[in-house]
Amino acid sequence: MPELPEVETTRRGITPFIADQEITEVRLRHTRLRVPVPADLPDRLTGARLGTPRRRAKYLLLPLENAPGTLLWHLGMSGSLRIARVGEAPKKHDHIDLVLESGRVLRYHDPRRFGFVDWLQADAARDSRLSHLGPEPLSDAFTGERLYRLSRGRRMAVKPFLMDNRVVVGVGNIYAAEALFIAGIDPRRAASRIARVRFDRLAAAAREVLAAAITQGGTTLRDFVSGQGEPGYFAQRLNVYGREGKPCRRCGALLKRVALGQRASVYCPVCQR
């Protein structure tokens, strides 16, 4: 599933090609996504000019400059956005095209059709899918003090606590596992039993691992115009995620796996306490 760094990579990859571009045509090939594509989307968008794309958590927001409203886009389990050229034949599972005045096309590809695009005419921040979200993990609002304060009285394990979008957005399974390893915290430990200084280290580790993942994605931005259409994914060497039974890169102990919140989590029994 595309996580925050992959969505941010997508935003950075498409922005130079779509910002300040007029939409000349909207082509809908398949409208039965997780949320049905609004039937009036072509009428609303044709002739509109796109502003600069923004990201909130794992949502992409494409505002319009000369008309009220914002496109809210979610990539779901398998979705991706890429830049194609007019005349470039769509592939299987290419469901939506926004044709631009430049002769390029913003093309949505989604084999599982679990993503969606929706039209928001009111203030996007008030939409129920966005209004409850916590701070961005790379913002100044995400701190160890926030984690410590919200964790008091919480019996849940620290890993699902860190993955709670009301606490902080975008720290998915991979990045939570890696951040907890860097911070030396056992993912099974109750959030309420973690000291403030350790939460300071965890917040810093989460920022570190997410920033590194975004940087890795940034090295493949050329793919958005190469015809391959694949965004960059987390390519740095993982310490624990997916490495059950392998030696810890730090101490050599065999990594263990445990289920937390219905998600598998791999950790080092020596380095993480």
Annotated binding site: 93, 112, 154
231 given a catalytic annotation: no
58 given a catalytic annotation: yes
Check if the beta carbon of residue 190 is closer than 8 Å to that of residue 156: yes
3 given a catalytic annotation: yes
**81 phi and psi, to 5 degrees?**
-115, 135
From 3, 8, 136, 178, the catalytic residue: 3
* Burial grade of 24 (CB within 10 A; 0-12, 13-18, 19 or more): middle
CB neighbours of residue 136 within 10 Å: 18
Task: Say which amino acid occupies 259.
Answer: A
Annotated binding site for DNA: 93, 112, 154
From 113, 207, 249, 263, the catalytic residue: 263
Angle, alpha carbons 221-2-263 (nearest 5°):
145
Cα separation, 46 vs 67, whole angstroms = 11
The closest alpha carbon to 2, from 47, 59, 70, belongs to 59
Query: In the structure encoding, which two tokens stand for residue 239, read together?
Result: 């310490």
Cα separation, 131 vs 124, whole angstroms = 9
From 12, 56, 58, 82, the catalytic residue: 58
Q: Which DSSP letter does residue 246 get?
A: S
Query: In the structure encoding, which two tokens stand for residue 33, read together?
Result: 């996504």
Cα separation, 211 vs 66, whole angstroms = 34
Give the catalytic positions in this structure: 2-3, 58, 263
